[in-house]
Structure 1
């Protein structure tokens, strides 16, 4: 069976600016080791994916889990980070070295050499799932960027401005693409519209999104 990274491209990844302080690194994750998928499976076994509930009582269509010192959660009490998985009561699984290397390397490539994430929110999209426009603003310090890694099915990334009503640009994301945004773009609205049906050679009918943050 092919490995997740059999489609590795030995060429330098394309660096595509998408905003001030924001860049799309085409295929960046494909150049890094082969430990991402096994690590992803281990995290899912220790802290299973679940459909969290928003403060308004709506179940999210995207299934989520976390790794690192803190995990992002939502429930009736609100949006926040917590060191423990509320389902099991245990600490979130530690962040694998492969994840950390990917996040810090991509951030450095995008112009953020000091980035050291302590949280990774992992989203699992199945066809029909979506993530509405939102800001990542539960972190303590907005001086750090967000690093977002796409694996599996292709998706559309919506990237807007600092107001929800600002124009939204759309970027096609493929397996291995990484988006990094910080600085003036750190609080830009972003989202993923409804994921279309399809099948990825290694991951099947699913898309995983690894979102690295400095939460604490």
Structure 2
């Protein structure tokens, strides 16, 4: 947002969870958006996620590296078209390591080999309930990048989906990293502000690119 009365600053929301506003400049946002549009095409493209209870997530998703479905990982889009998951590019892993180093310090990025991306698309009515990213075998920090519409990102605690939690406004280009004592904190998106994306970006809605280290053995089956 232009002409801020009080420019947004880097914030530690809780120990291990850091919000860095405007981490991606406009050119980097456009490049990442173009990549997301390529990844969203079939096969193994953007799909609606169905929960074991028969419900559906309102945010649609595409995965790289390994395919996430509630609540496990697979090498194919088992709840979609069954195609092999798209590969996780090396440049995206480097972006993840740089994000962690900038947010939590270089030591937090040591040995973190990012190999999974979950990319969620939110239209104006989409939400994400409080949940934990607990299906990975690694405790490396989670990297979250935002493109498009502004959202309310609710970041809570490791014990319960309810309070205490903090509501953080994430705008296009913002970075949010959580690791260490905050790695398994509950978090969600209770609101998206439709029509708030930067006009130059050319995106209607919100994209959240979440990078993770799976920590799975190369030859072992991937189940919860």
> Which bin holds the TM-score, normalised by the shorter protein?
0.7 to 0.9
2:98 matches 1:105: yes
Q: Is the 8 A contact 1:32 1:102 kept in 2?
A: no
What residue in structure 2 maps to residue 24 of structure 1?
19
How large is the Cα RMSD of the aligned pairs?
Answer: 1.9
**Structure 2: distance between partners of 1:175 and 1:191:** 17
Q: Is the 8 A contact 1:35 1:98 kept in 2?
A: no
Q: 1:210 aligns to what SS in structure 2? A: strand
Show structure 1 runs of 5+ residues with no match: 1-6, 8-12
What residue in structure 2 maps to residue 90 of structure 1?
83
- For 1:1-216, list aligned pairs within 5 A: 14-30=9-25, 33=28, 35-46=31-42, 47-68=44-65, 70-74=66-70, 79-86=71-78, 87-109=80-102, 110-111=104-105, 112-114=108-110, 115-142=112-139, 144-164=140-160, 165-200=162-197, 201=199, 202-215=201-214, 216=216
Q: Is the 8 A contact 1:149 1:176 kept in 2?
A: yes
Cα deviation, 1:50-107, whole Å, max 9, x if unaligned, reads: 1111111101101011012x12112xxxx11111122233221112344223211101
What residue in structure 1 maps to residue 221 of structure 2?
none
Q: 2:211 aligns to what SS in structure 1? A: strand
Shift of 1:26: 1.0
How many residues align structurally? 199
**Structure 2: distance between partners of 1:196 and 1:31:** 20
**Structure 2: distance between partners of 1:71 and 1:203:** 27
Cα deviation, 1:13-66, whole Å, max 9, x if unaligned, reads: 943211111111111122774531221111111432111111111011010110
Show structure 2 runs of 5+ residues with no match: 3-7, 217-224
Q: Displaced runs of 4+ in structure 1, greater than 6 A?
A: none
What residue in structure 2 maps to residue 4 of structure 1?
none
**Structure 1: distance between partners of 2:189 and 2:40:** 22
Q: 2:94 aligns to what SS in structure 1? A: helix
**Structure 1: distance between partners of 2:185 and 2:175:** 17
